[in-house]
Amino acid sequence: MHESEYITENDIFNYVFFRYLLKQEKIHSIEQNSMYVENVEFYTNLKKRFIRDIPQEIKKRISDKIAQYRPINKVLLTLIKEESVKKKKDFLVLAADSPKEEPRISSRTFVNEENGYLIKLINLRNSERIFVFSAFEKVLRNYKIILHPSGKSFFQSDNSIPLEIDYKIEVDNIELEFE
Helix (H, G, I), strand (E, B) or coil at 136: coil
pLDDT band at 166 (very low <50, low <70, confident <90, very high): very high
Residue 20 is predicted with a pLDDT of 85
112 pLDDT more than 60: yes
Residue 8's φ and ψ, nearest 5 degrees, are: -105, 170
Q: What does pTM read for this prediction? A: 0.58
Residue 80 is predicted with a pLDDT of 86
pLDDT band at 4 (very low <50, low <70, confident <90, very high): very low
130 pLDDT more than 90: yes
pLDDT digits (tens, 9 = 90+) for 77-98: 999 855 544 445 455 555 555 5
| Domain-wise residue ranges, the chain | 1-69, 70-178
Highest mean pLDDT among 3-17, 46-60, 129-143 belongs to 129-143
CA-to-CA distance for 121 and 106, rounded, in angstroms? Answer: 8
Residue 118's φ and ψ, nearest 5 degrees, are: -140, 140
pLDDT digits (tens, 9 = 90+) for 5-47: 688 888 998 898 888 888 999 999 999 999 999 999 988 888 8
Q: How far is CA 45 from CA 27, 50, 66, 71, 153, in A?
A: 19, 9, 30, 27, 30
Q: Which amino acid is at 103?
A: P
**Of 148 and 114, which is predicted with more confidence?**
148
